[in-house]
A and B are shown apart, each in its own frame.
Chain A
Amino acid sequence: MAEITLKALAHSYLGNPTSPEDYAIREMDHVWHHGGAYALLGPSGCGKSTLLNIISGLLQPSSGEVLFDGELVNTLPPEERNIAQVFQFPVIYDTMTVFDNLAFPLRNVGTPEEKIREKVLEVADVLELTPLLKRKAKNLTADEKQKVSMGRGLVREDVSAILFDEPLTVIDPQLKWKLRRKLKEIHRRFNITMVYVTHDQLEASTFADKIAVMYDGQVVQFGTPRELFEQPAHTFVGYFIGSPGMNFLDVRVRDGQLFSGNDVVPVGQRFCDIIANTHSDNIKLGIRPDFIEVHDTPVDGGMEVEVVGAQDLGTNSVLSLRFGDVLLKARIDEDQLTPKGKAYIRFPQERVGMYVDEYRVEIDHE
């Protein structure tokens, strides 16, 4: 049973890192609570796998501490950490049968054979591997192999966390969904901490209770899928989560009003006040395509835009709208008619986020 704490953790693959760019993981603090189902979401090369390998002990961090239940494990090798890891490509022991594969971690620590049998049968049952137990692992399909590698983590009673490194990459789409459900089921049944690395937001949000979004070696937001969607803490989260991603407008304040280029953006006074207090000139206004109101006729507090395209997605359409120099995306329901030529949009205040130096600034909406 473990709560995994990362303290001032940083890692660089270079011998002498000088600038922040040299780091694969920039200094970070993070806690994975016991029994949680977490996803670590981010684009390729953002440091997800590095972080996972540091937790499992395959990699020694350049600095900082890794604690399991408050106990420092930095110096412990993976075999002493009570952690299981499932890799992107299924790792199985070719020459062994499925049974022997599942029994392998137990045999390595000298578990009595009848105990092994009981445990293997239990896990095989959960993973629906029972009919395959006598088969050689080499001749299994990719998803069966991946289930075997998961099973090797589950048979160990001392395992307190299982780390998944994009485990469904090589699995057929229709089986992916089944395996993901299986994972959820396993999580509920075994009550183990699970950290799931992926670059697929759908995979992350269906699996995890809480998602850590990583960008450029840092966790930029840690929250529920809903929080990530509704209140992205960083422009990257806004852009990465949701399809299409969040709209961002470079804005500044002039004469007490918010401007994007030469156009006024009519949002509340509170936004202007906040911005007036910052010294940065990197200020962005963000709004999800899903939250932009689109009207055919001028509305109070609206902006005039030019409709430059529409994409029909079946249950809804995504409009491309030109506002000054920027292109905005807005989602409308299928029953709403697609406006032609000119349209009028409005940003509901509670849905607008302000980003200073790429990070969200909290605003009280009384």
Chain B
Amino acid sequence: MNKVYDNKAWLLILPMLALVSFSAIIPLMTVVNYSVQDVFDANTRFFTGTEWFTQMLNDPTLQSALLRQFAFSLTVLAIEVPLGIGIALIMPKKGWQASAVLILVTLPLLIPWNVVGSIWQIFTRGDIGLMGWGLRELGYGYNITRSAVDAWGTIILMDVWHWTPLIALLCYSGLRSIPEAYYQAARIDRASKWSVFRYIQLPKLTNVLVIGVLLRFMHSFMIYAEPFVLTGGGPGSSTTFLSQSLTTMAIGQQDLGPSAAFSLIYFLIILLVSWVFYTAIMNMQKDKEEGV
């Protein structure tokens, strides 16, 4: 068949392109603009080229914040994904129990970030917080303002509490969409519970899990409000993540050039990791011997 090449349809995406320009491309370009200049005041500025980028990449504070950030994101993913799948598997499937559990599981997702930070701030206080007081009564010298381990543990616990429900909900919807015949066939094939999970449920969850992991990675990699309210980045800088370093630099010190360069690097890292992850998963699903 002869294909006629007619590219007029591209014109149809023009309105969308205009919208995206306003919402994303233009703001992004202003950041690019700042990142290559040193701005003193409205009339005085110098072109700096890649100087800010080099400086940011070699900054030991930011390097350690980046490592901390990766450690945090990977830890919460490693906990939240299996836990979310587990919760989804044991959630009731019908009747009023299903609705009740669904609401209970969803609740943490509805709480604003700052409020979550405040809740946990109070929760972990040694004098009136249930957890802080309880742990001390049990003989553990729990103190998030002194011990980096306590601070880390608490932030991870908080994130798990806040965001595991997202994974659980996504998996729950994924599980519900598996036709009953799959389970029936598995029973007839004498599959074990583990096999049912491994060969029916998990494969059917791949798509929702890709979305879940991507969302959670991006989210956790950009985390700001919760640790800021809970620990303020301390003790020392043990819980200072990338966003907080950036805010300190951009707002606190008004270093527009370096923070713009830093923002772009930050953005590119998230983009790169997400792309690598997505491509890897999509390749896994392909036939190894396509076309045989």
Contact = CB atoms under 8 A, between A and B. Distances in A.
Given A85-B188, A94-B203, A136 B287 contact: yes
B188 A79 contact: yes
Given A93-B200, A135-B289, A135-B292, A105 B182 contact: no
A134 B189 contact: no
A87 B189 CA distance: 13
Interface in B145-180: 179
A139 B287 contact: yes
A301 interface: no
Given A95-B199, A135-B287, A108 B188 contact: no
Interface in B166-217: 179, 181-182, 184-185, 187-192, 195, 199-200, 203-204
Given A89-B181, A134-B292, A135-B292, 10 more contacts: A56-B184, A58-B187, A78-B184, A78-B188, A85-B185, A87-B181, A91-B179, A108-B195, A109-B190, A136-B288
Interface of A: 53, 56, 58, 77-79, 83-85, 87-89, 91, 93-96, 104-105, 108-109, 134-136, 138-139, 149, 152-153
Contact of A104 (B191, B204, B288): B191
Interface residues of B, number: 21
A322 B226 CA distance: 83
Interface string B122-164: 0000000000000000000000000000000000000000000
Contacts, number: 61
Main secondary structure of the interface of A (DSSP, over half): mixed
Contacts of B200: 93
Interface of B: 179, 181-182, 184-185, 187-192, 195, 199-200, 203-204, 285, 287-289, 292
B187 A77 contact: yes
A96 B288 CA distance: 12
A348 to B, nearest CB: 48
Main secondary structure of the interface of B (DSSP, over half): helix
B185 A108 contact: no
A74 B191 CA distance: 21
A79 B189 CA distance: 7
Contacts of B288: 136
Contacts of A149: 185
Contacts of B184: 53, 56, 58, 78, 85, 87, 91
A87 B183 CA distance: 11
A152 B287 CA distance: 21
A105 B179 contact: no
14 contacts: A78-B188, A85-B184, A88-B181, A91-B182, A91-B184, A91-B185, A93-B199, A95-B199, A104-B191, A105-B190, A108-B192, A134-B292, A149-B185, A153-B188
